[in-house]
Amino acid sequence: MINKIIKFTIILFFLPNILFAKPEFFEEGISLFNKKKFEDAKFKFEQDIVYNPKSELSYLYLSKIFNEQENKILEEQNLETVMLLNPRNEEAIYSLAKLKLSESDYEKSRELNKRLKLICDIFCNKSDQLKIEIENLSKK
């Protein structure tokens, strides 16, 4: 009986700290990202993912960090994760299409851009510009 009371007390004491820590990691990551402190921001986004494995925004920001660091493999992995979590994330689709274009994978870039055009709300103009860019580069 005493063990149960002790366990219950410990849970009550630490649970609020765990619950309130979740948004802090993401917000701190955003702040560090905006200050271009990418390694520190990366750590905060990874911490957020530990507490919230479905945090599509943390994965999206990790992809942006890897883009800045020119690590295309990890950038692509994180963009794919975002799209797995939310297939309608326009920014992830657009960013992956741009990444594929930079790798001269015109077909994949076209396919992603068509997908973006079907669902776009915010990225419609960028999708139109990307289509022109794909066509111009694929002709060379």
Contact status, residue 49 vs residue 29, Cβ threshold 8 Å: no
Q: Could you tell me the pLDDT band of residue 13, with boundaries at 50, 70 and 90?
A: low
**What sign results for the dihedral spanned by CA atoms 50, 52, 58, 60?**
positive
Is-contact 42 65, C-beta < 8 A? yes
Model confidence over 24-43: pLDDT tens digits?
Answer: 999 999 999 999 999 999 99
Specify the fold of 23-86: 1.25.40
Domain ranges of the chain: 23-86, 90-140
Rounded Cα–Cα distance for residues 38 and 85 (Å): 23
Tokens of 94: 């657009």
Is residue 45 within 8 Å of 28, Cβ to Cβ? no
**90 in Cβ contact with 119 (< 8 Å):** yes
Could you report the per-residue pLDDT of 76-122, keeping only the tens digit for each?
999 999 999 999 999 999 999 999 999 999 999 999 999 999 998 99
Question: How much is the pTM?
Answer: 0.80
